[in-house]
Amino acid sequence: MNTTNSIILNDTEVNQKIRRIAYQIYEANSEETEVVLAGIAENGYLLTQKLAAVLEEISPLQLILCKVTMNKKSPINSVQTSLTPEEYTDKSLVLIDDVLHSGTTLVYGVKHFLEVPLKRFKTAVLVNRNHKKYPVKADFKGLSLSTSIKEHVVVEFKEHETIAYLS
């Protein structure tokens, strides 16, 4: 990060948002025994791991982590998951990414998971940028932010610190 970037969430704030989202996920799934947390690689999966750590602390839910990979430049037919469809069929699933920019990544992730029956399907993002190209929304979000089209939200996951900033 260089000095021209402005921090929108410092490490403490990021962790507060993650904790709040984890509680929302737990509340939405309080009747469930297990929940699939599907994180979009790379940062979405890092956020998923942080959410899972909080959920393990605050809930009895059995968590199944799933890494979702795709070509973000050309997501059509490029979505792959670390779980087989049988492993998430008829389960409650939360699709997670760090930032909801245009919605492209999230909408193709949603499309992939809709190919099998799910018990419940929700989405979660740390930052919702409000410049969507697709009709996709985040059910759980840490921060909604109106930015200009030229501004880019970046979330940096480091070993001992996570920050979100505008560049």
Among 2-11, 69-78, 151-160, the range with the most confident prediction by mean pLDDT is 151-160
**The pLDDT of residue 135:** 82
Residue 4: pLDDT band with limits 50, 70, 90: low
Which domains, and CATH codes, for the chain? 6-26+34-166 (3.40.50.2020)
Tokens, residue 72: 């973000």
Residue 3: pLDDT band with limits 50, 70, 90: very low
How are beta strands 92-100 and 120-128 bridged, if at all? parallel
How are beta strands 80-81 and 62-69 bridged, if at all? antiparallel
How far is it, in rounded angstroms, from Cα 167 to Cα 154? Answer: 7
Residues 6+ apart with CB under 8 A from 93: 35, 36, 37, 38, 113, 118, 120, 121, 122
**pTM score, whole prediction:** 0.94
Residue 78: pLDDT band with limits 50, 70, 90: confident
- Whats the size of the chain, residue-wise? 167
How far is it, in rounded angstroms, from Cα 86 to Cα 162? Answer: 34
15 pLDDT higher than 60 = yes
Tell me the residue type at 132: K
**The pLDDT of residue 2:** 47
pLDDT (mean) for 106-133? 92
How far is it, in rounded angstroms, from Cα 19 to Cα 84? Answer: 29
Paired with 67 in beta bridges are 39
